[in-house]
Amino acid sequence: MHLFLLLILQATAALGQIDPAHCRYALGMEDRRIKDDDITASSQWYETTGPQYARLNREEGDGAWCPEGQLEPSDSQYLQVDLGRLTFLTVVGTQGRYARNSGNEFARAYRLNYSRDGLLWKSWKNRLGNAVMEGNKNAYTSVINDLHPPIITRYVRLIPVTKLSTTVCMRVELYGCPWEDGLISYSAPEGQLMMPPGYPIASLNDSTYDGVHERRRLFGGMGQLTDGVIGQDDFLVTRQYHVWPGYDYLGWRNDSLGTQGYVEMEFVFDRQRNFTSLKVHSNNMFSRGVKIFSSVSCWFKPRLIAGWEAESVAFKTVLDDRNPSARYVTVPLNRRTAKSIRCRFYFADVWMMFSEISFQSEDTVLPTQITLEVTSTPVTEEGTMATTPKTAVNASTSDPPDDGNTPILIGCLVTIILLLVIIIFLILWCQYVCKVLEKAPRRILDEEVTVRLSSCSDTIILQTPPVPPRSGHGPTVPANTDPHYERVFLLDPQYQNPAVLRNKLPELSQSAEASACGGGYAEPDVTQCTPHQCFHSNAPHYAETDIVRLQGVTGSNMYAVPALTVDSLTRKDISAAEFPRQQLIFREKLGEGQFGEVHLCEAEGLPEFLGEGSPLPDRDGRSVLVAVKQLRADATSQARNDFLKEIKIMSRLNDPNIIRLLCVCVSSDPLCMVTEYMENGDLNMFLSQREIESTLTHANNIPSVSLSDLLHMSVQISSGMKYLASLNFVHRDLATRNCLLDRRLTIKIADFGMSRNLYSSDYYRIQGRAVLPIRWMAWESILLGKFTTASDVWAFGVTLWEIFTLCKEQPYSLLSDEQVIENTGEFFRNQGRQIFLYAPPLCPPSLFELMMRCWSRDIPDRPTFEGLYQALRPHVNQ
Ligand SMILES: *[C@@H]1O[C@H](CO)[C@@H](O)[C@H](O)[C@H]1NC(C)=O
Ligand SMILES: *[C@@H]1O[C@H](CO)[C@@H](O)[C@H](O)[C@H]1NC(C)=O
Ligand SMILES: *[C@@H]1O[C@H](CO)[C@@H](O)[C@H](O)[C@H]1NC(C)=O
Ligand SMILES: *[C@@H]1O[C@H](CO)[C@@H](O)[C@H](O)[C@H]1NC(C)=O
Ligand SMILES: *[C@@H]1O[C@H](CO)[C@@H](O)[C@H](O)[C@H]1NC(C)=O
């Protein structure tokens, strides 16, 4: 069964685009699919350290490739690999010369050069412009580097880099998948700056383009349109960390390109192909003047040296003024034959923005690809097939089998179809049974169906993961390529259920904790549900989508309350007092979202209203500045409920280090909640703009903080969390971005879905709406959907780490989201392969020990917030 579904996935995958997260298969250095002849080098020291010995984890010859003599800092020695075809390269792994303990040479750093044709070499740089990658620290451990951006190439050169004269030796593996598009370059007008008043400047250039810039056009290279990263609905929000707004898109303004009203792009391919379609991922944020193109015309050139054929293919799109989502627009190309294509995309509005372009040609959707795996793999290998993509990839890249296999092929296809029918039947049946079992009538969302199904019958759902919208070229079934790349996508809905997860991580079933599928862990403060379900019932639908430019406001909607199953809340549930709306005087807008807005207001007479003894926020004469979160009158009832729920939760909280709900206006629409205004914004922003106090910062007037400030902040957060824990409240999203600072630098913990837009790269978006702060989450929250005070302790550890790195870096910044999730699996297994956050240089060792305890695998080993508070407090008074 595994085998067949794998094949189906492969077939559909061939239609889609590259997904860098899935395209990470070993390309054959270690297993010798890359032949000795294809590995060359600028030099070699001995016969026995030739380039053919540069294979990861192999101990042949003298154990590695070593260039001749000592490597000097000015040297440019290289190891070159010919991959035999255009490849989408995503990861590079290196290792030193171990040679059964007789070797001790390795490369501490290296650069990459690459070439698509073997003639023109380009040097690789990461998204921030750095070319040098960190290499090995000893002769045996392999080090993996993710390429951001990935490279599309056939030839790769690894160039060891050194600061001192030294001997280096290397073993390597390359990871990626075949580049089926066949595109070798595109040219386009340079992207432009968008400078609308009131918004950040969006720089819509192609910042990773590897060709030449000439007369405001890009020539002869590829860049962001082929990096596998699609832009978000809001083009200002980026998927990368520390880049500028608009990063993911290449965009143009209609009047900047003369009066022609179109953008002309030219695409060159590796060989003549018969094109079926072209897919353009385009932004459609019409509220900001961006739309998909209104029409496109393409011309074809069958050979490089030939004229453009007169007959073009034209295609009109259906413009969409309702849905602002970015989308793929598919343009049929009518199986025209070409070696290069020229397309004109006509503007539909002032702006046009693309994030990705891909081409489908007949030879990319090879029906034979399906057969390959069946015929070239003996049946006895079925098990391994499904779990080892290496085999699958190997098979799919090998030569096609001869025609004698056609009957087998047809037989297999028929079997696949029969199996599909059976699976569909089983799914329908299961759905029916599930419905009957739980009589509660309920609107079933797609995602919920998956979750529910899996609790009904693990075996079936496991085999039918929803085909991801952008599947890569490899099987999406998690599998075991290599110890570093054991792929487990735990946030796929199929894993959301612990019972299903057990099948993926067999060790889990031995763990007593993971014994239940529905509610086994009955600790008092546990809200037991999958992240999905939780986010569905508690998630802030009214705010999550697009509040931008927000500061110092709050709305704590994610505090999970164990007994909060109420669906409609009434006035009597809300203990905060009703404030006369007319006494709120608008000062300025702080943020805006789909269902609401946040305003900075003066609240006249608030001190009197709240009465004596009520500690007040910053005063400004008689009036007080407050943040007012307001729900639009036309918000959905779901959003309304969430809003009221949030009010209810917040009105119960009263602690100096928790944001306070001062009053509400809920007797009439629009609903409002009034909270303290936190002038200094969030802690993340605050710290990232500061340096640690030193004579240098004093001399140059650089904003700074002292170590004791940092400790004081940590104590305040632990104090606020201690309070939440005493109420059995689980915060679920503790991080510096959710801690606010007032004028006197008092920290108050808040948590609002709205911040998710500013910090979207901190969250991992799973299929539907749910977003998870995976870099802050304990392993059991990610793997089991279990959120407890102990998982808040974990997040507190990460928050401390952020504080002591002055928020200059995202946690695990070198790992992709998928790797973070894989690392979570390692935390669970606890075999010493998990990667911990490093000790920040500023951080006293005793404090780092405390952080490490927060990240203990077993909950009893983690400190409590009371313990943390007691441990941190003495530091401050020193
Ligand atoms: C790497 O590429 C750069 C051009 O981008 C070139 O100047 C350099 O010589 C190349 N180095 C090697 C070893 O190929
Ligand atoms: C793209 O724009 C950014 C931000 O304005 C700038 O830093 C970068 O150098 C530009 N890159 C290219 C290749 O023009
Ligand atoms: C493209 O299609 C034509 C016929 O429509 C066929 O003769 C040719 O071999 C095909 N070329 C490729 C590269 O598939
Ligand atoms: C650009 O778009 C605007 C708005 O659609 C339109 O008024 C203007 O004529 C366009 N300019 C050109 C040169 O097409
Ligand atoms: C991989 O493919 C090569 C031919 O390209 C073949 O010789 C080898 O046996 C294959 N390996 C596996 C594990 O299927």
**CATH number of domain containing 41:** 2.60.120.260
Neighbours of 297 (CB within 10 A): 16
Domain boundary among 137, 152, 178: 178
Residue 142 CB–ligand 1 contact under 6 Å? no
Q: Looking at the structure, do residues 347 and 233 belong to the same domain, yes or no?
A: yes
Residue nearest (by alpha carbon) to ligand 2 atom 5: 203
**Cα 315 to averaged position of ligand 3 atoms, centre (Å):** 23
Among protein residues, the one with the nearest Cα to ligand 4's atom 6 is 350
Q: Where among 394, 417, 433 does a domain terminate?
A: 394
- SS3 category, 761: helix
Provide the mean pLDDT of the chain: 75
| Letter string b/e over residues 439-460, b meaning 16 or more CB atoms within 10 A of that residue's CB | eeeeeeeebbbbbbbbbbbbeb
Q: Which residue from 271, 300, 337 has its CB within 8 A of the most atoms of ligand 3, so it is best to mutate?
A: 337
- Whole-number Å distance, alpha carbon 274 to ligand 3 midpoint, is 6
At 122-180, the pLDDT tens digits run 999 998 889 999 999 988 888 889 898 999 999 999 999 999 999 999 999 999 999 98
Confidence of residue 521 (pLDDT cuts 50, 70, 90): very low
Q: How large is the average pLDDT for residues 557-562?
A: 30
Q: How many domains does the chain have?
A: 3
Digit-coded pLDDT (tens) for 303-338: 888 889 999 999 998 888 888 888 999 999 999 999
Is 526 domain-assigned?
Answer: no
d(CA 366, CA 373): 12
350 lines ligand 4 (CB under 6 A): yes
Residue 643's CB: how many other CB atoms inside 10 A?
A: 29
Q: With 80 as the cut, is the pLDDT of residue 190 above it?
A: yes
Q: Which atom of ligand 3 is nearest to the CA of 363?
A: 14
pTM over 0.95: no
The string of pLDDT tens digits covering residues 97-120 is: 988 888 889 999 999 999 998 889
From ligand 5's centre to the CA of 34, what distance in Å? 10
If asked whether residues 226 and 334 sit together in one domain, one would say yes
Compute the distance between CA of residue 116 and CA of residue 179 in angstroms, rounded to an integer.
11
| Predicted pLDDT at 573 | 59
- Rounded CA-CA distance 253/347 in Å is 9
Pair 225, 330 in one domain: yes
Q: Whose CA is nearest to atom 8 of ligand 2?
A: 207
Alpha carbon distance 136, 93 (integer Å): 10
Ligand nearest to the CA of 391: 5
Cβ-based burial of 129 (10 A; exposed 0-12, middle 13-18, buried ≥19): exposed
**Together in a domain, 165 and 187:** no
pLDDT digits (tens, 9 = 90+) for 353-398: 999 999 998 865 444 333 333 333 332 333 323 223 333 333 333 3
- Is 151:112 a contact under the CB 8 Å cutoff? yes
> What is the spatial distance between Cα 261 and Cα 34, in angstroms, rounded to a whole number?
48
For residue 149, whether the previous peptide bond is cis, meaning omega lies within 30 degrees of 0, is yes
Structure tokens at 44: 């070699």
The residue with greater pLDDT, 588 or 281, is 281
One domain, residues 167 and 191:
no
Q: Is 403 helix (H, G, I), strand (E, B) or coil?
A: helix
**Nearest residue to 202 via CA among 167, 169, 226, 237:** 237
Nearest protein CA to atom 7 of ligand 4, as residue: 350
Question: 394 C-alpha to center of ligand 5: Å?
Answer: 6
Average pLDDT (593-604) is 76
In a domain, 271, yes or no: yes
Task: Report pLDDT digits (tens) over 781-794.
Answer: 888 878 889 999 99
Q: Are residues 143 and 215 in the same domain?
A: no
Q: Which ligand is nearest to the CA of 272?
A: 3
Q: Are 10 and 391 in contact (CB under 8 A)?
A: no
CB-ligand 4 contact for 261 (6 Å cutoff): yes
**Closest ligand 3 atom to 361 CA:** 14
Residue 30 has pLDDT above 60, yes or no: yes
Nearest residue by C-alpha to atom 1 in ligand 5:
394
The protein residue with its alpha carbon nearest to ligand 2, atom 2, reads: 203
Distance 279 CA to ligand 3 centre (A): 21
Task: Identify whether 633 is part of a domain.
Answer: no
Ligand 2, CB cutoff 6 Å, lining residues: 203, 205, 207, 244
Give the Å distance between the CA of 113 and the centre of ligand 1.
Answer: 6
Are both 119 and 253 inside the same structural domain?
no
pLDDT of 821 reads: 85
Number of the ligand 4 atom closest to the C-alpha atom of 348: 5
Are 168 and 188 in the same domain? no
- Of 294 and 539, the one with more pLDDT: 294
d(CA 693, CA 689): 13
Q: How confident is the model at residue 592 (pLDDT cuts 50, 70, 90)?
A: low
* Secondary structure (3-state) at 441: coil
Q: Tell me, using a 6 A CB cutoff, whether residue 272 lines ligand 3.
A: yes
**Is 733 tagged catalytic?**
yes
Any idea which ligand is nearest the CA of 256?
4
DSSP letters spanning 847-874: HHHHHHHHT-SSGGGSPPHHHHHHHHHH
Q: How far is the CA of 722 from the centre of ligand 4 (A)?
A: 58
Q: For position 877, what pLDDT does the model report?
A: 56
**Protein residue with its CA nearest to atom 7 in ligand 5:** 33
Weakest-pLDDT range from 123-127, 299-303, 447-451: 447-451
Q: Are strands 109-115 and 262-282 parallel, antiparallel or unpaired?
A: unpaired
Does 563 have pLDDT greater than 80?
A: no
Question: Under 8 Å CB-to-CB from 293, ≥6 apart: which residues?
Answer: 263, 280, 282, 317, 329, 345, 346, 347, 348, 352
Q: Please state the atom number of ligand 1 nearest to the C-alpha of residue 42.
A: 13
Name the residue type at position 836.
F
In a domain, 562, yes or no: no
Which among 733, 751, 762, 792 is annotated as catalytic? 733
Instruction: Choose one of 204, 206, 207 to mutate for the ligand 2 pocket test, by most ligand atoms within 8 angstroms of C-beta.
Output: 207
> Is residue 264 in some structural domain?
yes
Regarding whether 238 and 103 lie in a shared domain, the answer is no
| Distance from residue 192's CA to the centre of ligand 2 (Å) | 10
**Average pLDDT of the segment spanning 203-216:** 91
Count how many Cα atoms sit within 13 Å of the Cα of residue 83 in the half-sphere of its side chain: 26
Closest CA to 741 of 785, 680, 805: 680
pLDDT-above-90 percentage for the chain: 34
Whole-number Å distance, alpha carbon 145 to ligand 3 midpoint, is 40
- 33 CB less than 6 Å from ligand 5? yes
Tokens standing for 517?
């599928």
Atom number, ligand 5, closest to the C-alpha of residue 399:
5
Please report whether residue 438 resides in a domain.
no
Of residues 582 and 13, which shows the higher confidence score? 582
Distance 391 CA to ligand 5 centre (A): 8
Question: Ligand 1 in contact with 118 (CB < 6 A)?
Answer: no
H/E element, 716: helix 707-726
Cross-strand pairs, 225: none
Probe residue for ligand 4, chosen from 255, 290, 292, 344 as the CB with the greatest number of ligand atoms within 8 Å:
255
From CA 740, how far away is CA 680, in angstroms rounded? 7
The total number of residues written for the chain in this structure: 878
- The answer as to whether 777 is a domain residue is yes
Q: Is the CB of 43 under 6 A from ligand 3?
A: no
Q: What percent of the chain has pLDDT over 70?
A: 72
Q: How far is the CA of 351 from the centre of ligand 4 (A)?
A: 9
**Residue 78 scores a pLDDT above 90:** yes
* Lowest mean per-residue pLDDT among 232-236, 280-284, 767-771, 795-799: 767-771
CATH of residue 302: 2.60.120.1190
- For residues 111 and 123, what is the distance between their CA atoms, to the nearest angstrom? 8
pLDDT tens per residue across span 10-24: 333 333 477 787 788
Question: Which of 394, 411, 443 is the last residue in one of the domains?
Answer: 394
pLDDT tens digit sequence for 749-766? 986 443 344 455 566 655
Q: Are 812 and 835 in contact (CB under 8 A)?
A: yes
Closest Cα to atom 14, ligand 1: which residue? 113
Ligand 1 atom nearest 159 alpha carbon: 13
- 627 lies in some domain: no
122 lines ligand 1 (CB under 6 A): yes
Q: How far is the CA of 91 from the centre of ligand 1 (A)?
A: 20
Nearest CA owner, ligand 3 atom 1: 274
CA 273 to chain CA centroid, Å, is 33
Considering the domain architecture, whether residues 66 and 89 belong to the same structural domain is answered as: yes
pLDDT of 201 over the 50 cut:
yes
Q: Does residue 127 have its Cβ closer than 6 Å to ligand 5?
A: no
CA-wise closest residue to 757 among 250, 365, 239, 278:
239
One domain, residues 253 and 381 = yes
The answer, yes or no, to whether any atom of ligand 3 lies below 6 A from the CB of 398, is no
Residue 406 binned pLDDT confidence (cut-offs 50, 70, 90): low
Confidence band, pLDDT 50/70/90 cuts, at residue 510: very low
pLDDT digits (tens, 9 = 90+) for 244-256: 899 999 999 988 8
Structure tokens that stand for 591 in this block: 């943020």
257 in ligand 4 pocket by Cβ < 6 Å? Answer: no
- 735 in Cβ contact with 776 (< 8 Å): yes
Q: Are 790 and 859 in contact (CB under 8 A)?
A: yes
- How much is the pLDDT for 306? 82
Compute the distance between CA of residue 622 and CA of residue 605 in angstroms, rounded to an integer. Answer: 7
- State the residue range of the domain holding 841: 548-557+677-875
Of the pLDDT bands very low, low, confident and very high (cuts 50, 70, 90), residue 7 is very low
Q: In terms of Cα–Cα distance, which of 532, 559, 568 is closest to 769? A: 532
What band does 862 get if pLDDT is binned at 50, 70 and 90?
very high
pLDDT of residue 169: 94
**Is the domain of 174 the same as that of 276?**
no
CB atoms within 10 A of CB 35: 11
Q: Is any atom of ligand 4 closer than 6 Å to the C-beta of 19?
A: no
Q: Is the CB of 394 within 6 Å of ligand 5?
A: yes
Residue 856's CATH number: 1.10.510.10
> Which residues have CB under 8 Å from 399's CB, separation 6+?
none
